[in-house]
Amino acid sequence: MLEFDGFGPEKVLIVHNPKIGLRGFVVIDNTALGPGKGGIRLTKTVTLEEVAKLARAMTWKNALAELPFGGAKAGIVADTDIPSKERKAELIRAFAQAVKPLVPEYYVAGPDMNVSQEEMRIFAETIGDNKACTGKPKELGGLPHELGSTGFGVFHATKVAADFLGLDLNGAKVAIEGFGNVGGFAGKFLSEAGAKLIGVSDIKGLVYNKNGLDYEKLIEARDKKGSVIAYDGEKQILPNHDIIKLDVDILVTAAIPNLIQAHEVNLVKAKLIVEGSNIPMTQEVEEMLAQKGTLIIPDFVANAGGVISSYVEYIGGTEQEMFKLVEEKITRNTKLVLEKAKDTLYTRAAALTIARERVLEKCEWCKP
């Protein structure tokens, strides 16, 4: 059941093409600041309710990043856990044809789970407009997410938060949940800053070494053997969910939603959690963690690097301009949120207050 309030959603489009087995949806949450911006998620389990929540998160993320975009999100229900390249192309092409009336005036697409720059090429070509989406290949003027903009932003959010806690990143113990595009690049920049990666998980398990893991070997295991558990070095292999229990200074979430449940709060030892993934826990769980002294950088603050990169692509900027703007905006807004939340550590409430104020300033029809 969709929830509506004074901010939105403004438009909901449900797409069904029985001939090719396409089921999908677009939720345009709020366009007060500009066209709705948000990626296309392609999974077996994606639902309209999930997409609506993510669209609202994009409203706040774009507002907090001070971008001329509203919030939106799309979802396509996949047939299998890992759709083939050909099947993804078929689904994206049909989906683009179905949503064409909304694009790009009301909706600007981008990559999300199981959707890459190649699918964005198909989307843009089907719509017939390069402004239809971001995350396109370079030859189409794109700044693909494979450049690591989101992970780069997560790193800078972590850097600011560690400084706020008086924690030296050089030598800090870090665990990363998920080692795809976001977690992999976050790990790269954190290890370059001297942080010690002691636990990294993916769908197949958790590789752990209390003395530290070599970043390059983790990447080699992931890319050549399909999982970090193939890491070539001293290690323990544990269940992937054990990532939340590790004795670390910093936990970076970069994969699944609802990672930490309320009954698991006391198992979390990390002093700092940086949400590279979307909705890795409920607001209730965040508040419980804050009460026990854990600092959390919310998803729409920490992982905004991707949409900041999208904006730079949208206006025709360069890679160098993108990295510069990601660093500037993530650093500034993380500091702003931490300053507002310094007495309570309820960082999401602080960030939401800032984002809502920015939307309300431009939104004539919104009701707080």
**Catalytic positions, please?**
73
3-state secondary structure string across the chain: CCCCCCCCCCEEEEEEECCCCEEEEEEEEECCCCCEECCEEEECCCCHHHHHHHHHHHHHHHHHCCCCCEEEEEEEECCCCCCCHHHHHHHHHHHHHHHHHHCCCCEEECECCCCCHHHHHHHHHHHCCHHHECCCCHHHCCCCHHHCHHHHHHHHHHHHHHHHHCCCCCCCEEEEECCCHHHHHHHHHHHHCCCEEEEEEECCEEEECCCCCCHHHHHHHHHHHCCHHHCCCCCEEECHHHHHHCCCCEEEECCCCCCCCHHHHHHCCCCEEEECCCCCCCHHHHHHHHHCCCEEECHHHHCCHHHHHHHHHHCCCCHHHHHHHHHHHHHHHHHHHHHHCCCCCCHHHHHHHHHHHHHHHHCCCCCC
Tokens encoding 270: 């990390």
Buried b (16+ CB within 10 A) or exposed e, 56-70: bbbbbbbbbbebebb
Q: Which residues pair with 273 in a beta bridge?
A: 251, 296
Query: Is residue 122 a contact partner of residue 97, using CB atoms and an 8 Å limit?
Result: no
- What distance in Å separates the CA atoms of residue 239 and residue 243, rounded to the nearest whole number? 8
Q: Which residues pair with 56 in a beta bridge?
A: none
- What distance in Å separates the CA atoms of residue 45 and residue 104, rounded to the nearest whole number? 27
Query: Is residue 30 a contact partner of residue 10, using CB atoms and an 8 Å limit?
Result: yes
